[in-house]
Structures are given as structure tokens and as C-alpha cells.
Structure 1
């Protein structure tokens, strides 16, 4: 199938102007000026993007694909995510992870869910492990998981500075980072360590110390939940000044932010205004993860659930409410994530890359979503759903 997206303003994510984007099968064939379609050329799907933006598909690098939670008891375990929840928010690539619970949720189940979503139409990867160290793996070590399992690209989400973490020593943490780095080098993957940051006094201390005391490069670490509090955010800013990646979590209700929580779109604007290079900044959703509420004594008092759609919401708010340039907001959910995770065929619109595309109107509403050349959302409606969202789910 040949698909031509005509007359759209293309952001790749840098602005290319008014162009036509040609998809051949699952890949982008090329980007051209005013392509004429020959008569009797065969079956061609033409999408008219006149007056619209054509941008790369969004990448969400922190999604609890097979559910998470349980901090309030077994009945607070969140359910598995469905395909439509992902694509409705413009997301065409996800990275799955485990969280607090690595007993009732496990790596084998996470891998199976990632493979299922891939069959249903999007691109998927996973981290090996969970909050705890020693890391729970499939093959016996983080290094061998990264080397031997195609979908495993790194380790995470390892919890630090959190009352729910396994309270690892610094030496235990750097050994995990070393395992991930070597596994990534051998497999040609990022081998990144995705670090869950709590709101404890330690903040990013282990990460800063690792960068200063070892040969492991700062790009090997990806701390997330940087915006969970002003204290962590300020520590994250200092870490960014060292050259570190900053991952801002989008799953929070902007009408009910914690007292000192920083909204992701606002955090992006602050970091840019302070001179942090946009290439170091990114968003992730924490989709389908539990959002437990603890009181000052760390007692569980309530629960929410993360949404992958929040990634799109914060991207849109960054542009329309916080005044971030469209190209910069796009980079935080496309090319930056692809570059940090070494996803070579993702994150940009250019010939040879995967056919992952979002069409937006001038209000930044999602019109169409294409994943690997297949239309998943058309005129704002999800047209491809997961197997249990269709006839089997009725």
C-alpha cells in the first residue's frame, strides 16, 4: 500500500515547510514537494493534510503495559493497557516497565504484553527489572536480557530515594549500570538505566556520584519523575547542567497537583528558559501505573491511575499555554526520546524511517495517527482497536 499525505506543514520535528510525505508499506519512502499521482498507478491512499501539521508519531518510554500498582492491596492493582488508549494519544511506540510489584507482575508477562501490542499494530520495547535491586530478569542477568532478548533495551524502573525502593547501596546501583552498559554495547542498544526517583532526601545523589566517580557516561542514566516535587525538580536542574537526561512525567491531574509538584509542560518551559538544551529534555506518561497517595507518615490514603493520553495533553499545553515552540515540544515526545533510547528508525520524518506519523490541526487536536504505515486513528476516531476491544470484547 502506498500512502501519500499531501499538502501538510511538515515538522520532522524541525520545520520543513509544506510537503508531501510518501509511505511505502511500513516505512517512509520520502518527503517531496507537490507529488503528482500518475493515472493507473494502482492503489494509493491519499490523506489531505491541507492546513494541518504532519509530525512524527509520539514515543512514550514509560508505560506499565500489563498494569501496575497494588500499594493499597490486591484490589488496587491496575489493569493491562488497551491499544486504543495508546494510539488515541498519538503514541506509536511504547517502552514497557514493571514498577513496585515484581511478584504478581513479572518480566515474562511484560514481554508477552509487548509482543501482543506489536501484533496489534504499534512498536514496543521493554526494560528488564522493576523497582528492586537485585534486578528481576528473564535470563538471569540484566546484561544477558539486553543481549539475548530483542525487545529489552535497558534496565528499569529502578527505584531510588523512595520508601518503596529496595534501598540498594551505591555499589549495588553502579553494578547494575555497568551491566546495562556492557549489554547495550554488545547488543547495539542503548542499555539505559531508567531510574524512578521518589521524594526522599537522597534525590539524585547516586546518579551524580556515579557520573563523577566512574567511567560510565551520563547518557547511560535516565531519571524520571523529576517534576514530582520542587525539591526533586531543582536537583534535576543541577543534574541537567551536568549534561544529564531529564524525563518529566505527564500523568498528574493539572487541576489537583500536589502542593509543590511541577506540571510537565511548565517544567519543560522552565528548563528551556534556564538554558538547558532541548535535546536533554523529554516527557513520559507513567501510563497505566498506579498513582498512590500517601500521607505525611507514608500511609496509603488513595489511588489514581496514570494515562498515556497525558503525554499528548502536556505536549499540547507546552505549546498553547506555556509558550514552548512547537518544534521543541515535539522533540520532547519524538526525536529526543528516540535518540536517548537509540531507536534508529523512530522519532523523525525522513526517508527510511518507520511510517509513524501524527496529523494535527492548527489547534493541535489529533486528526490522524499512522503506525508503521497503518492508519490507527482517522479523523479523530480510533479505527484499529485491540482484539479484546473488538468483537471478542463484546
Structure 2
């Protein structure tokens, strides 16, 4: 493998537009960016970036890397994520989480899967806990998990406004958020609380109660699935007005849309039109979660699986279908989640940042190449590195 890659004459979106530059990758870092770089060595691989865009690799803040689902019985447990499920769609950083099932899906298995995916080329972090409170942990408490286990950057996805949640009180949520916050402070991590928001009319009421009754800021909580319906989306916009950040889910199906779910791309465009700062907006895939399909009598007739690749599709739709500004739409899947999650070396094309990069066609946005920590993972739109069992 060549140790140096020089991408020439390419328009750089960091996600802000930096114009046309040459970009040098050495090892796993971006080490130089300039209008014209001169470097002659047999160790250099040159890539022509003419008529292409160079963008940060996507940061997916919620993926069920060990599989999800299971609410329809053991046979409805969804499969684990594979390496190319992410890289084909330009995703180079994922945050693994448990969901409803923290019995047959466990935190040790989550950590093992994270380390396996990282060996294969991705950057992977995790949340301790799951839907339920009191939280499942490895060390015995949330603070210790975040401080002592390198992969854990927060807790989640803790469920509220959902019949599958443990129906937490404000006091219970306050306590685990405080534990996560202290754990983050002591370890230099985000200590974020990822919140699964269901379709109950209570929406974000519990989060507002916690913020009003405690010293915790709204930014401590990171509610997802906020595009379930227009009412919840508007409640999310109100949450951003008090300093909160909100996340939309890109994996969906025709039934969800028919029942009122707003496509993530449309939700982003709508929020930007309402004046919400892109730094407060993100999209995640909810990859490998189950997407149930019911008949007209409410009987489960099938299951679809959330796709990590849908994240890049949502970004493209936001720009091309819903006319969201390119740089702001890109921020919602790169810099914004990286900043919320405390990953300063991710989500940007900057000197010193990780060389997680996407080369895409300037007009169609079709992916041509993907680099993860400087390693070429996708070329000519097809994976050139596959997972161990792919």
C-alpha cells in the first residue's frame, strides 16, 4: 500500500466550500492542502479530482451494528452490519447502540463488534445502556463505563414517549444524564444522552421537565427519530430554540411515509427554512434496525431492515430534491454530528483531521471513492475492501 495519496485539482467541501485545492493524505491524516502541491516520490499515488467534490466521510450517530428488532419474536431479530454496508454509502464513522433488546443483544457483544469493524477499517464508537432504565452497563454504572471504556462516548438510545420504554420519570432521566455528563467531563468525551423518541403525544415533554428542574443543559440530550410526523418535527424545532440538537432518521419505508413520517431530507430542508442552525441538525441511518410492515388490519406481515447507505441518499435528496444548500446539508451528516459527539478529528476536511474522505461527482453527487483513515475502501463506486466474512 502506498503511504501517500495526493488528490489534485478537486473542489473541497469541509463542509464549507474551500474552493479547488490539492489535498495530501499521509497515513491516516490529511497533512497538506494548497492550490498547488509539489511532491515527487515513488510512494505517492496521484488522483485526478477534476470535476469532482472532496467531502468528509459521513458520521452516522445511530447504527445497530449487532442487529436490532426482535419485537415480533426471535425470528425478527435483524442481522449485524457489515463493513461495506457503511463504506458503500460513504459512512466512515459509526456509533453503535442497543435498542429494545438488551437481553439477547448485549454490551460486550456490541463492543466486540465495534472492535471488529474498526480492525476492518471503520472508526467505531458506542453508547452504553439501551432503551430501558435503570441502564444496562458493563462496570456497574454509567459514569464508570464512559470513563474506563474507550469506545463508550455516552448512553443510549434511552427511550421516551414509547410503549417499549421503561416509562422513565424526570428524576430517573436526570440521574443518568448527570452520570453521563460527569463521565464525559472526566474522560474528555461528549457524555451525550441519545434519546429514542416514540410516537406518543408526550413527545419531548420529559426532556423539557428535566431541563427546567435541573442544572442540565438541553444540549446534554440528543433526541432522534424527530421526523416521525409534522407535530414532532415542530416540537423538535422548539427544542432547538432552547439550545437542543435534534436528529432525523433516514431509513424508512413506504408505510411509514404513508402514515405521516417526513423523509429526513425534507425535514432538514424544512428546519433550515425555519432558520434552524445546521449545527443543531443531524441525520442518522438507524442502520440494521427493523422496519415493520403491517397489513390493513394491523398484523405484522413483513420486516425490512434499516440501511446505513440511506444516510448518503438523504443528504443527496436534501440537496437535489428539496433544494437545501449543499454545505448546510453536508454539515448535518458530517461536522454537526461530529461536534455533538465530541469527535473533533472527524466530520471535516482539514489539516490534522482523519483522512475520512468521499470523492463524488460534482453534478450527480454519485460516490466515486471513499477513504477511511487514509485507506481506500471504495473505488469507481464499488467496495475494494470487504469485511472478513463478506
Q: TM-score range by the shorter chain?
A: over 0.9
Distance between the aligned counterparts of 2:86 and 2:366, measured in 1?
Answer: 16
Deviates more, 1:291-300 or 1:129-138: 291-300
1:131·1:157 contact (CA, 8 Å) conserved in 2?
yes
Alignment of 1:13-28 (within 5 A): 13-28=15-30
Pairwise CA distance, 1:253:
2.9
Question: What's the secondary structure of 1:54's corresponding residue?
Answer: strand
Answering whether residue 224 of structure 2 is matched by residue 228 of structure 1, we say no
Provide the rounded CA distance (Å) in 2 between the counterparts of 1:195 and 1:214: 18
Query: CA, structure 1 residues 254+349, in 2 after alignment: closer, same or farther (shift >3 Å)?
Result: farther
Please say which of residues 270-279 and 367-376 is displaced more in the overlay. 270-279
Greater shift in the superposed pair: 220-229 or 298-307? 298-307
Q: CA deviation at 1:208?
A: 1.1
1:29 to 15, 25, 31: 31
Secondary structure of the structure 2 residue equivalent to 1:114: helix
Cα offsets for 1:295-354 (capped at 9, x unmatched) = 899865542210001100000000000001110111000000110001011011111110
Matched, 1:274 2:282: no
What is aligned with 2:196?
196
Considering only aligned residues, what root-mean-square deviation do their CA atoms show, in Å?
1.5
Deviations 1:215-264 (Å, cap 9, x if unpaired)? 11111110000001222112112112222101011001368613211110
When normalised by structure 1's length, the TM-score is 0.96
Which deviates more from structure 2 when the two are superposed, residues 292-301 or residues 356-365?
292-301
User: Is residue 383 of structure 2 the alignment partner of residue 382 of structure 1?
Assistant: yes
Alignment of 1:336-347 (within 5 A): 336-347=336-347
SS in 1 for 2:50: coil
* Equivalent pairs, count: 387
Cα pair 2:253 2:291 within 8 Å, conserved = no
**1:132-172 residue CA offsets vs partner (Å, 9 max, x unmatched):** 00100111111100000000000000000001111112211
SS at structure 2 position matched to 1:227: coil
Q: Give the TM-score taking structure 2 as reference length.
A: 0.96
Distance 1:236-1:267 versus aligned 2 partners, 3 A rule: same
Contact 1:71-1:292 at 8 Å conserved across structures: no
Question: In the TM superposition, what are the counterparts of 1:27-176 in structure 2 within 5 Å?
Answer: 27-38=29-40, 41-176=41-176
State the secondary structure of the residue aligned to 2:243: coil
Q: How far did residue 357 of structure 1 move?
A: 0.3
Alpha-carbon deviation of 1:380?
0.5
Distance 2:282 2:272 in 1: 12
For the 8 Å contact 1:153–1:184, the answer to whether it is kept is yes
Q: SS of the counterpart of 2:51?
A: coil
| C-alpha contact 2:255 2:293 (8 A) present in aligned 1 | no
The one-character-per-residue Cα deviations of 1:71-128 (angstroms, maximum 9, x if unpaired) are: 1110000011100111000000000000100000000000000000000001000000
Q: Secondary structure at the match of 2:227?
A: helix
